[in-house]
């Protein structure tokens, strides 16, 4: 019965998580495809600089709170349950206020630092975007809070619908602008994101309020400190991860200009398709690996890591191969003819996807067993390596667009080697065993497909 319940958990939560990640990526991907046809590459580059910076802030805040709240709330006693929720709310407000203040007052400096003189005409718009983003941070508080509570209670339906609501307004506006041939302003794009965040918060509250149970509205500062203690390393890890994934674009914008940054981002958008199965598996594995860690059996963690990575690889490897073989056609379909210059770079960036499952599950496993400090330290090493290599390839060797791809790909390879050394020592993980699970997943997929076809024939 317990085994059946666990399978049910994986299937149900996995489906909702997949639909949530998948729909968010579809909106983002199609939105990018339309924006690429609407905006000039230089203007798109400015939007890339803003979105990369905004993602650094938002994901860092989420990193501080999400895993800590989910871990503690999922195993909390009735007495501590409400205290943890209130402590999370308090910590969220403190951190969001701090980030908003820093970003608001440093906006002029950031706009100057992240653009070349050739792109100086866009600096006033970039400053306004940074300042308006501070409002978005506070609008998102109910959305994230109620979604974290749902995740801790293994409920994923509301998370799907709230994130759907957050993206749909922005996407519809871009579609209308494209087909209506309207003039599109970058500030209006951000305003649509704020409206989407309001809708998302309402939906998250609607689904999550049944889990929102607080007996006493008195802040327990001991829990605030504990959440911060656990979350500070995940915060650092998320910030480092976003720097890891975004520093190449920011360095391109600073040293080569907005156009190379936009071209590189076009390649990255396609590469990021592999994020959907990777992040879906990670969100399902985290609560389960947290439970397995309490059983003090490293072989369970080893099996969970190798099998989850194998599942992701089974899904993404065919896609990586296709894109690697026909990058020009892929770019043309996704972004249009004016972005074909990014095709050779795409052939390099798509190789990031081979390393991504190992990196994501490395962080997921370590965070879930209460070892976020190790994850943070290795991610920080990766960031320092990436900054160094990108500076050498982009600035020193003056390789521009290609320099960002070579620097980041080399960083992924170095990080992969370091991650596997740690996992092997801690749990006996063998990274290459993940590949041995791939045929089994394909067999299971084929059996499911043939069984479905057979059942359809019988019903006719």
DSSP for 431-445 reads: TTHHHHTHHHHHHHH
- What is the pLDDT, as a whole number, of residue 13? 60
0.85 surpassed by pTM: no
pLDDT at 212: 85
Question: Are the CB atoms for 403 and 421 separated by under 8 Å?
Answer: no
pLDDT score of 324? 95
Three-state secondary-structure class, residue 398: coil
**How many CB atoms sit inside 10 A of residue 25's CB?**
17
Report CA Rg, the chain. Answer: 22
Q: One digit per residue, pLDDT tens: the chain, 460 residues? A: 344 444 455 555 666 666 776 777 788 888 999 999 999 899 999 999 999 999 999 988 888 888 888 888 888 778 888 888 999 999 999 999 999 999 999 999 999 999 999 999 999 999 999 999 999 999 999 999 999 898 888 777 888 899 899 999 999 999 999 988 788 899 999 999 999 999 999 999 999 888 888 877 888 899 899 889 888 877 877 788 788 888 999 999 999 999 999 999 999 988 888 776 656 655 555 445 444 444 456 777 787 788 888 888 888 888 899 999 999 999 999 988 889 999 999 999 999 999 988 888 888 778 777 777 787 788 889 899 999 999 999 999 999 899 999 999 999 999 999 999 988 888 888 888 888 878 877 777 777 777 767 776 666 5
**CA 231 to mean position of chain CA atoms:** 17
Beta strands in 123-240 (DSSP E): none
Q: Which helix (H) or strand (E) holds 446?
A: helix 438-459
**How many other C-beta atoms are found inside a 10 Å radius of the C-beta of residue 441?**
16
Q: Which positions ≥6 away from 377 have C-beta within 8 Å? A: none
- Write down the pLDDT at residue 341: 92
Rounded-to-integer distance, Cα 438 and Cα 436, Å: 6
Element (H, E) at 424: helix 400-427
**Within 10 A of 266 (CB to CB), how many other CB atoms are there?**
29
User: Residue 178, CB half-sphere, CA atoms under 13 Å: how many?
Assistant: 16
Environment class of 412 (CB within 10 Å of its CB; exposed 0-12, middle 13-18, buried 19+):
buried
Pairwise CA distance, residues 63 & 236, whole Å: 8
Angle at 445 between CA 442 and CA 446, to 5 degrees: 85
Structure-block tokens of residue 50: 């803003």
E strand or H helix at 355: helix 352-368
């Amino acid at each position: 019965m317990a085994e059946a319940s666990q399978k049910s958990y994986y299937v149900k939560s996995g489906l909702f998580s997949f639909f949530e990640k998948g729909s968010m990526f579809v909106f983002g991907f199609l939105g990018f495809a339309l924006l690429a046809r609407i905006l000039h590459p230089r203007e798109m580059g400015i939007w890339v600089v803003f979105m990369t910076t905004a993602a650094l802030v938002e994901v860092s805040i989420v990193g501080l709170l999400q895993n800590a709240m989910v871990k503690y709330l999922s195993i909390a006693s009735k007495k501590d349950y409400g205290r943890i929720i209130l402590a999370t709310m308090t910590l969220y407000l403190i951190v969001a206020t701090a980030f908003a203040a820093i970003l608001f007052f440093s906006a002029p400096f950031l706009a100057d630092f992240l653009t070349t003189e050739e792109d100086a005409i866009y600096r006033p718009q970039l400053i306004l975007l940074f300042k308006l983003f501070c409002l978005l941070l506070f609008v998102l508080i109910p959305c994230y809070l109620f979604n974290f509570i749902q995740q801790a209670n293994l409920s994923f339906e509301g998370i799907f619908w709230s994130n759907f609501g957050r993206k749909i307004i922005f996407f519809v506006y871009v579609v209308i602008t494209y087909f209506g041939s309207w003039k599109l302003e970058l500030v209006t794009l951000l305003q649509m994101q704020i409206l989407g965040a309001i809708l998302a918060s309402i939906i998250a509250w609607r689904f999550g309020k049944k889990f929102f149970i607080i007996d006493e509205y008195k802040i327990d500062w001991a829990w605030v400190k504990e959440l911060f203690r656990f979350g500070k390393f995940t915060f650092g890890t998320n910030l480092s991860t976003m720097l890891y994934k975004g520093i190449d674009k920011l360095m391109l914008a600073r040293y080569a200009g907005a156009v190379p940054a936009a071209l590189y981002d076009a390649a990255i958008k396609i590469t990021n398709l592999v994020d959907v199965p990777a992040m879906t598996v990670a969100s399902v594995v985290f609560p389960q690996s947290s439970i397995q860690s309490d059983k003090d059996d490293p072989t369970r963690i080893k099996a969970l890591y190798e099998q989850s990575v194998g599942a992701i690889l089974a899904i993404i490897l065919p896609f990586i191969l296709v894109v690697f073989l026909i990058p020009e056609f892929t770019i043309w379909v996704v972004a249009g003819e004016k972005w074909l210059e990014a095709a050779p770079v795409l052939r390099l960036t798509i190789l990031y996807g081979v390393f991504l499952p190992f990196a994501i599950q490395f962080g997921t496993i370590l965070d879930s067993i209460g070892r976020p400090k190790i994850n943070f330290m290795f991610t920080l090493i990766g960031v320092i390596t990436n900054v160094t290599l990108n500076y050498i390839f982009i600035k020193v060797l003056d390789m521009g667009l290609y320099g960002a791809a070579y620097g980041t790909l080399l960083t992924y390879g170095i990080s992969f080697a370091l991650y596997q050394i740690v996992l092997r020592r801690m749990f006996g993980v063998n990274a290459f065993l993940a590949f041995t699970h791939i045929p089994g997943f394909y067999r299971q997929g084929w059996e499911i497909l043939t069984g479905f076809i057979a059942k359809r024939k019988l019903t006719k």
